[in-house]
Structure 1
Amino acid sequence: EACFFVLIRTSEHEADWQARFLKTLRDRPEVLEAHRLAGDIDYILKVRVRNARAYDEFYQALISEVRIFNVTALLSMEEIKSTTSLPL
């Protein structure tokens, strides 16, 4: 399996674009997490797929469904820490 962190920049900020984009993300099982960010990058996705070819299929499907200004994919080489517990 491969884990990609996908940075998305958009020039679209209308409500109908955002609704279409969010529906697209929710409908894709490869997207494990999606966050809207402050700053230069608008969204970050955590995407898990079988391999680079499967990522490209995901990418091609994504850009065919919604207009995106820029997509940068970062391949995770190693997961160092993963937890959902909070320090109390």
Structure 2
Amino acid sequence: MAVKIDELDRKILECLQEDSGRSLDEIAKIVGSSKTPVWNRIRKLREAGVIRQQTVILDPEALGFEACFFVLIRTSEHEADWQAAFLKALRDRPEVLEAHRLAGDIDYILKVRVANARAYDAFYQVLISEVRVHNVTALLSMEEIKSTTRLPLVAGDGA
């Protein structure tokens, strides 16, 4: 369920998406308000679940994670026990940055960050030892063209 937010909330959220490390004074100045109302709105947005967490974004290549694979998984298993084991395997693997259940021919897609192809193979071997999958296709990203965590907070977007 979408939470009702106004234009000031949008400005605050956009400012936080750009750099959540900014001080309340900086945010207030940018959005044209004072510190206390900005703090109150941020607190309410957290309580409403609009702001889930604040974090930093690291450069994976600078840390040696040069390979990004998109892993397409098909399975013939759909029982609750298999799904629980599969979800646990994904949650236990820090290489898995994202996992989505899909509609269509592919059941799941994973975004996996590793150092290289050998590290991907090690990840793959562990995954298939923990859960049975029908078919796995790994696609190596040759170039990251766009990557963002920012949501488009423009007026009239239904939020």
* TM-score grouping bracket, smaller chain normalisation: over 0.9
- For residues 11 and 80 of structure 1, the distance between their equivalents in structure 2, rounded to whole angstroms, comes to 33
- For residues 56 and 64 of structure 1, the distance between their equivalents in structure 2, rounded to whole angstroms, comes to 12
Structure having the higher Rg: 2
Runs of at least 4 residues off by over 2 Å? none
- For residues 52 and 84 of structure 1, the distance between their equivalents in structure 2, rounded to whole angstroms, comes to 26
**Aligned residues: CA RMSD:** 0.5
Question: 1:86, CA displacement in angstroms?
Answer: 1.5
TM-score normalised by the chain length of structure 1? 0.98
- For residues 137 and 150 of structure 2, the distance between their equivalents in structure 1, rounded to whole angstroms, comes to 29
Deviations 1:13-37 (A, max 9, x none): 0000000000000000000000000
Which stretch of the first structure deviates more once superposed, 4-13 or 77-86?
77-86
2:108 corresponds in structure 1 to 43
The alignment status of 1:31 with 2:31, answered yes or no, reads no
Deviations 1:43-85 (A, max 9, x none): 0000000000000000011001100000000000000001111
- For residues 69 and 20 of structure 1, the distance between their equivalents in structure 2, rounded to whole angstroms, comes to 15
Q: Which has the higher contact order (CA 8 A, sep 6+)?
A: 1
2:119 corresponds in structure 1 to 54
> Unmatched 5+ residue regions in structure 1?
none
Q: What are the residue-to-residue correspondences of 1:3-82 with 2, within 5 Å?
A: 3-82=68-147
Relative to its length, the structure with more strand (as a share) is: 1
Identity between Structure 1 and Structure 2 (%): 91
TM-score normalised by the chain length of structure 2? 0.55
Three-state SS of the structure 2 residue aligned to 1:87 is: coil
